[in-house]
Amino acid sequence: MSKTDYTPLLESFQFKTGFTLKNRVVMAPMTNFSSLPDGSVSDEEVAYYIRRSKGAGMVITACVYVSAGGKGFPGEFGADKDEMLPSLRKLAAAIKGEGAKAILQIFHGGRQCPPELLPDGQAVSASNVPAELPSGGNGPIPRALSEAEILSIISDFGEATLRAITAGFDGVEIHGANGYLLQQFFSPHSNTREDRWGGSLEKRLTFPLAVVDEVKRVVKEHAKTPFLLGYRFSPEEPETPGITMAETFALIDALSGRGLDYLHVSLMDFWSLPRRGTEDSRPRMEQIVDRVAGKLPVIGVGSLYSADDALKALQTGIALVALGRPLLIDPDWVQKVAEGRQTEIQTALDLSAQSTLVIPNPLWGALTHTPGWLPIKA
C-alpha cells in the first residue's frame, strides 16, 4: 500500500498582496466566551491562542464586536473603542510570536445579540423580524436600524479595522456568516426594508458591500505593510424565504469584484449538500469553488478532523483548510502532520486534558455541556 503524501497541507501559500503563509492550515474563528467583562482579552485567552498558533499558518481570532450594540456573546472581546488597543496588541503579538499570521475577525451580531449584553437592552437588525430558533419559536424582536445608525455601524467596521492595523494584526476578516448582521441585511428572511438597504437582491447587498468598501478604504489609507482583507459567509439559509444557493452565487460574484484577499465559507460539514437554488447536486463547497473560478482564494471548513479529511478537502480546489474544533481537540495537529505522526492526531476531546489543551474555563464548560459540539473521547 502506498504511503499518503500530506505535503500539500504543508506547502506555503502566497496571497496577491505579497503575503506568504507557511502552510495551508488556518485556525478557524471560534467564540471562546473567555474575555474580561470590559471586553479586553484575558490572560487565559492569550495562553489558549499561543497553544494553537505554533502549527497553523494563519490564525483567525474569535469575532470582536465593532459597536457596543453588536456584542453577541458573554465573554466576547471588543474592538469598539481605542481603550481596547492594549488588549488587541497583546493578542496580535502572542499569535505572531508563535509564527502564525494574525487575523482579527470583526463583527456585529444584530438580532442575535442577547439583550442583557447590550447598553440599552435592545437588539437591532435590518428589520423588526425575529430569528427563527433551531429549537422552535422565535428570538427577541429586534428594532429596525435607521439610516443614520446603519451609516454609523459601517463607520464602526472601519474604526475597528484601523485598531486592528494599529495593534499589529496582519489582516481582518469581515464576519458576514452564521446569521449575524451582515447576513441579516442580505437575507430576504430578515430584511424586509423598502429603502436603499433592502427589497431587491441588489439592494440587500448594499450594506455588506458598503462595509467591505469602508474596510478597504481604511486599509488603503492606513496600512503601511500588506494587510489581508477576507470575508466569511454562510451559503444558504434553512428559513423560507431565506438565502438560496442562487443568491449565494450572486453574493460571491459581488464580493469577487471587490478586491478582497480571500473568501471564507462557513459550514459545519465541508461536504454538505445544497437545499435549493441550484440544479447541481454536488456539495456546496465544490459549487462555490467553481463559481469563484480562481478569482480569489477560498478557505473551506467543516468537521475535518483527520489529516486525510483535510487533504481530501484541499483536493476540491480550495486554497486553504480551516480547522476549528480539530484544533480545540488537538492543538498539535499541524506539527503531527509535519512530523509524519498524523495517525497520532486526536479526533475526540479528552475530558481529562483541559490543562494540557490550554482551554479556558468558560470555553471548557461550553464544550463539555453542549451535546454534539465536539466528539468526546469514550
Q: What's the pLDDT tens digit per position in 67-82?
A: 999 999 999 999 999 9
Would you say residue 341 has pLDDT above 70? Answer: yes
Give the mean pLDDT of the chain: 97
94, 55 in Cβ contact below 8 A? no
Would you say residue 20 has pLDDT above 70? Answer: yes
Residue 126 lies in a domain: yes
Closest CA to 23 of 31, 35, 13: 13
Residue 1 lies in a domain: no
As a whole number of angstroms, the distance between CA 220 and CA 58 comes to 22
Residue 280 CB partners (closer than 8 Å, separation 6+): 274, 287
Q: How far is CA 332 from the centre of its chain?
A: 21
Residue 86 lies in a domain: yes
pTM over 0.85: yes
Can you count the helices (H) and strands (E) in the chain? 14, 12
Would you say residue 216 has pLDDT above 90? Answer: yes
Residue 70 lies in a domain: yes
Q: pLDDT band for position 263 (50/70/90)? A: very high
Q: pLDDT band for position 104 (50/70/90)? A: very high
Residue 374 lies in a domain: no
Q: What is the pLDDT of residues 187-205, one digit of tens each?
A: 999 999 999 999 999 999 9
| Counted domains in the chain | 1
Q: Please identify which of the residues 48, 49, 65, 180 carries the catalytic annotation.
A: 180
Strand partners, 37: none
Identity at 61, one-letter amino acid code: T
CA distances from 247 to 127, 174, 251 (A): 19, 19, 6
Q: What are phi and psi of 52, to 5 degrees?
A: -110, 0
Q: What is the pLDDT of residues 295-330, one digit of tens each?
A: 999 999 999 999 999 999 999 999 999 999 999 999
What DSSP letter does each residue of 167-222 carry, written as one string? HT-SEEEEEE-TT-HHHHHH-TTT----STTSSSHHHHTHHHHHHHHHHHHHHHHH
As a whole number of angstroms, the distance between CA 318 and CA 298 comes to 5
Q: pLDDT band for position 289 (50/70/90)? A: very high
As a whole number of angstroms, the distance between CA 181 and CA 177 comes to 9
Would you say residue 134 has pLDDT above 90? Answer: no
Residue 377 lies in a domain: no
Pick left, alpha or beta for residue 313 (phi over 0 → left; psi -120 to 50 → alpha; otherwise beta).
alpha
Is 231 labeled as catalytic in the residue annotation?
A: no
- 141: containing domain: 7-369
As a whole number of angstroms, the distance between CA 18 and CA 226 comes to 7
In the chain, the percentage of residues whose pLDDT exceeds 90 is 98
Residue 45 lies in a domain: yes
Would you say residue 31 has pLDDT above 70? Answer: yes
Residue 35 lies in a domain: yes
Instruction: Identify the pLDDT of residue 3.
Output: 80
Instruction: Identify the pLDDT of residue 2.
Output: 57
Check residue 103 and report its DSSP letter.
Answer: E
Q: What is the pLDDT of residues 41-53, one digit of tens each?
A: 999 999 999 999 9
Instruction: Identify the pLDDT of residue 173.
Output: 99
Q: pLDDT band for position 1 (50/70/90)? A: very low
Q: Residue 296: give its domain's CATH number.
A: 3.20.20.70
